Amino acid sequence: MTKKKAFRHLLRVGDLTREEILHVFGRAEEIRTDPGRFRDRMARETVGLLFEKSSTRTRLSFEAGIHQMAGDTVFLGGESQLARGETIEDTARIMGGYLDMIVIRTFGHDRLERFSRASPVPVLNGLTDSHHPCQALSDFSYISRIFGTLKGIRMAYVGDGNNMAHSLIEGAALLGVDLVLATPTEYRPDPQIIREAEEKTLANGGSVVWTSDPLAAAKGVQVLYTDVWTSMGQEAESTVREQTFRGYQVNRELVEAADREVIVLHCLPAYRGKEITAEVLDGPRSHVFPQAENRLYVQKSLMLFCQGKE
């Protein structure tokens, strides 16, 4: 099957310009407030979900979003021939011949890059070890809706310098957010990603700063964000990580150091009593569950954008 439509891949937040991100956010808000306008936008299209990692929110939000726009989905987990040694490139060509779009959730980011180079249809990153762009873009969209702006918003990320941290760094640099990341020194974000972000802040405003002090990072911020200490594939390190990250918990002390109107975000799943206390997660400053719901609207918008649908 020959695919002739112009399209885009989304592998990381940095693949987009500031203007493109704001366009996606604007359409996501239209989708949220008037979903009926978009109910046929993916009619007669089929999207493949190739997931080599477990998922709740990413799978559900993509599948629901596709179905709500009259499309269909095919899910492939560990049973695909990739698990038996078929090459990534061959898999991409075959899947692209059957499908109109592919969402991938995998381990090494290089696997996603190889797949996208061979794919004749749009490929969206549903999470890799290095980046989680759909989550970060959804979160910045949600922050913008709550505060009415992103320019000058003060945000702290506390925890592991992981894929979530990397995508938040890239987004903050493009959107003018003042982001402070507090992680243990040995788990700090990729220095190259921080350097690239610092260059972009010169044009877009905002700032990206790293520290090892979570209390200093939280001081006066309007957004307080955390993620799990042990990501998928790192389970063997969990005991060591829990010891190292013990002082990087989002708790009452950090919330009280932040702005009085701070919102607390977490990309989930959450482990109460580890990276965040139950008191904070279930408390009045938590926006974690409406934050998760926003994935549906932004990912619908991203799919339409990557397909070149205006």
Q: Residue 131's Cα: distance from chain center in Å?
A: 7
Q: How many CB atoms lie within 10 A of CB 288?
A: 18
**Candidate list 295, 299, 306, 307, residue with the active-site label:** 295
Cα(first)–Cα(last) distance of the chain, in Å?
A: 24
Q: Name the DSSP letter for residue 189.
A: P
Active site residue 57: no
**Candidate list 41, 222, 227, 249, residue with the active-site label:** 227
**Candidate list 132, 166, 241, 266, residue with the active-site label:** 132
Active site residue 282: no
**Candidate list 109, 266, 267, 306, residue with the active-site label:** 267
Q: Helix or strand or coil: residue 147?
A: helix
Active site residue 227: yes
Burial environment of residue 18 by CB neighbours within 10 A (0 to 12, 13 to 18, 19 or more): middle
Q: Residue 21's Cα: distance from chain center in Å?
A: 13
**Candidate list 12, 27, 59, 105, residue with the active-site label:** 105
Are 140 and 171 a contacting pair, CB within 8 Å?
Answer: yes
d(CA 296, CA 281): 21
d(CA 95, CA 90): 9
**Candidate list 109, 134, 135, 291, residue with the active-site label:** 135
Q: Residue 190's Cα: distance from chain center in Å?
A: 17
d(CA 2, CA 5): 9
d(CA 156, CA 167): 14
| Number of residues assigned to the chain | 310
Question: In the chain, which residue ranges form alpha helices assigned H by DSSP?
Answer: 18-33, 57-68, 88-98, 109-118, 133-147, 163-175, 191-204, 214-218, 238-244, 252-257, 278-281, 288-306
Active site residue 134: no
d(CA 276, CA 250): 5
Burial environment of residue 269 by CB neighbours within 10 A (0 to 12, 13 to 18, 19 or more): exposed
Active site residues: 105, 132, 135, 227, 267, 295
